[in-house]
Amino acid sequence: MNGLSTSPPPPDAEELNAWTLETPAQLKGLRAGLVEALNTHASVMNSELDGIPERMVLVVTELATNAIKHGHPPTRIRLLRTGDQFVLDVADHDLTAFPELAETRPINAGGRGLHLAQAFALEVGWYATHDTKHIWAVFPIDAES
């Protein structure tokens, strides 16, 4: 994947859970809540997640940390679902800075969160509304997908 899609997540995605964060200290609760929500929804759908929760936790931690650190609070994270995919949607209120891939920075200079998201997700994109900027990532519901 070379760039980021510039569109909202799939339009048929329904919200399963949501979290609002103000500080990095709340990331631990987000991670635990996300794993619990994923396991609950997978159980209801008879799906085998395997390593999907771990990948989603890594991605949501990166995206939420960036939103808390660089965006304007509050940061809102939503777990969405389409027929066969989970979608993470991370929003902040900074409309002056847009997501960009850190192509030219040294490895230790940070800015690799979007690369990590692209490595673990099926698709990554972003969009803005009148008051929020969203970055989203799509993951399969069934590990065999």
pLDDT for 50-104, tens place per residue? 888 999 999 999 999 989 988 888 999 999 999 889 999 999 998 888 777 666 5
Is residue 119 within 8 Å of residue 113, measured between CB atoms?
A: no
Structure tokens at 17: 């859970």
Question: CATH number, domain at 89?
Answer: 3.30.565.10
Q: Which residue has the tokens 């949607």?
A: 89
Phi, psi of 82 (to 5 degrees): -105, -170
Based on the structure, what is the number of domains in the chain?
Answer: 1
Q: 106 by DSSP, 3-state: which?
A: coil
Is residue 124 within 8 Å of residue 63, measured between CB atoms?
A: no
Rounded CA separation 57/47 (Å): 18
**Residue 1 pLDDT greater than 50, yes or no:** no
Range of the domain at 33: 14-140
